[in-house]
Amino acid sequence: MSNPKEDKKPGTGASVQKQINRRNFISFGTFAVLGTAAFGGWKSLYHSTIETTGITGGAHKPLRRALNKSELFFRNFFSNNHLVKTYPKSMAAKKVRQNTNIGSDSKLDADNWRLQVKKLSGEVLLITIDQIKALPKTDLVFDFKCVEGWDQIQHWGGVRFVDFVEHFGLQPETKLNYVGMETDSAMHPQTILAYEVNDMPLPVGHGAPLRLIIPVKYGIKNLKRIGSINFSNHRPHDYWAEQGYDYYSGL
């Protein structure tokens, strides 16, 4: 816009004034045009259409695209060697925060509960909670983080998802997506199918009889009361992603 060389030769008063006017006109004109364009751009983003609810929902279309692109970028930094910090048991909260009852308010028939796992072959496994409890138990005391901003050190016990997969011979399925998560996060060594909290069986409010504890994701991904596990090449529906939250919500 401006040419720094211009003023080196002092001109007559009139020609300097002309230069001042010309440069002010160009710069203020550009400023006004770009400012108006930016404001228009903001307006159209702010009023951009909300995505139709499918696998995700509730977010402005361009913002959803940005969330997905950001995920792809930050996924480059994901590693199963990046472990969540763990704490001694004594630091775990005695009263574990329970944020919502969504999905837990219907009556649970604990005796007849079976975890349904659909294999690639079409075979359906029906797994009892005792079968799961018979697997090697992993205790995890970590800082549980919520999208709302709060966090709490909590103590969960259960079977690592990798151990679960290995035991039931689900390795071929792990090439695919998991219950609303990518393979990498599900196979993270600290991802567990939890049936205990503070060494006690899960209460209904915390997702009895079996829930997902996945420390590399925000709380909204830590699904309570798991009923079935499917493996797919396509992302399944996700409750909170339909409410406008990031589908991946990785930490």
Partner 1 sequence: MKTIKEKHSLIMRWTHWVNFPILTVMIWSGMLIYWANDEYKITIFGHTYVRFFPNWFYNLLHIPARLAEGMAFHFLFMWFFTLNGIFYVAYTIISGAWRELVPQKKSWKEAWLVLLHDLHIRKMAPPQNKYNAAQRIAYTAIIVMGIGSVITGLAIYKPVQFYYLTWLCGGYHFARIIHFALTLGYVFFFVIHVVQVIIAGWNNFNSVISGFEVVNEESKAATKE
Task: Name the site residues for partner 1 (rule: CB under 8 A).
Answer: 1-2, 4, 6-7, 10, 13, 16-17, 19-20, 23-24, 27-28, 31, 34-35, 38, 42, 58-60, 62-64, 66-67, 70, 74, 77-79, 82-85, 143, 145-151, 215-216, 243-246, 250-251
SS3 118: strand
Q: Please identify, using beta-carbon distances, which residue of 67 and 226 lies nearer to partner 1.
A: 67
Round to whole Å and give the CA distance between 236 and 51. Answer: 16
Q: From the CB of 104, what's the least distance to partner 1, in Å?
A: 21
Minimum Å gap between C-beta 12 and partner 1 is 8
Q: Smallest gap, in angstroms, from Cβ of residue 122 to partner 1?
A: 36
Smaller CB distance to partner 1: residue 16 or 91?
16
Backbone Cα Rg of the chain = 27
Residue 27 or 228: the one with the smaller Cβ distance to partner 1 is 27
In this complex, which beta carbon is closest to partner 1, that of residue 67 or of residue 202?
67
**Closest to partner 1 by CB, 13 or 136:** 13
> Helix and strand tally (H, E) in the chain?
5, 8
Shortest approach of partner 1 to residue 138 CB, angstroms?
Answer: 17
Tell me the torsion sign for CA atoms 83, 84, 85, 88.
Answer: negative
- Report CA-CA distances (Å) from 153 to 10, 39, 125, 250: 70, 44, 34, 18
Rounded distance between C-alpha atoms, residue 173 and residue 122, angstroms: 11
Residue 251: CB minimum distance to partner 1, A: 5
Q: Judging by beta carbons within 10 Å of its beta carbon (0-12, 13-18, 19+), is residue 247 exposed, middle or buried?
A: buried
- Closest approach of Cβ 241 to partner 1, in Å? 9
Helix H or strand E encompassing 195: strand 192-197
The span from the CA of 230 to the CA of 119, in Å, is 7
Q: Which residue's CB is nearer to partner 1, number 125 or number 251? A: 251
